[in-house]
Amino acid sequence: DSGVTQTPKHLITATGQRVTLRCSPRSGDLSVYWYQQSLDQGLQFLIQYYNGEERAKGNILERFSAQQFPDLHSELNLSSLELGDSALYFCASSMDYVYTFGSGTRLTVV
Amino acid sequence: ILNVEQSPQSLHVQEGDSTNFTCSFPSSNFYALHWYRWETAKSPEALFVMTLNGDEKKKGRISATLNTKEGYSYLYIKGSQPEDSATYLCALEGNEKLTFGTGTRLTIIP
């Protein structure tokens, strides 16, 4: 157990639907990062939050949004889902330049 | 933009043999270089963080070096064991995020 908790582990949904992925960072970590890993691609950075505020944005689609709550957990919302959104979504938290990853949520859009 | 390339893409090594693979980057404009080990269905596991040119880190049979002037890092595994089978990811830390390469998939043949 890395200390970063992601739920659910697996998600199957239909095109056009909306889903929410949840991440609880390691205790004490203020930063949360979201990454997407599609087939044959590396981990692509989506977005970062630090203590509730958005810090950096990567190649995140407009259909996707995220937030970090006062208790520091974060949610990634994916809407109007397309087949190409099927991927493994990782959350990571960091402190003192150590990044710890969760085990990911595997999203399958059918 | 930080570009990270890893080679080879995949590698098969006989148990007991030593091996190494490369992470290369055209620019030294980053804060740190990270190596991760990632087994399927698990979280990427941090191996090393290196910040200085000439850095060498070691953990058991695995070691890594960093050469920022020539733009590469090597990861070495001595006396490969079946449990070393995994994907090894290199990432550059900068601009509030980690930028990953696509990884080297290592398979150890018993």
Q: Which of residues 9-68 of B touch A (CB under 8 A)?
A: 31-32, 34, 36, 41-46, 49
Q: Which residues of chain A have pLDDT under 50?
A: none
- Output the six-digit token pair for A107: 């999203």
| C-alpha distances out from residue B70 to A78, B26, B27, Å | 41, 8, 9
Q: Are A92 and A76 in contact (CB under 8 A)?
A: no
- Are B34 and A56 inside 8 Å of each other by CB? no
pLDDT single digits (tens) B35-85: 999 998 889 999 999 988 888 999 999 999 999 989 999 999 999 999 999
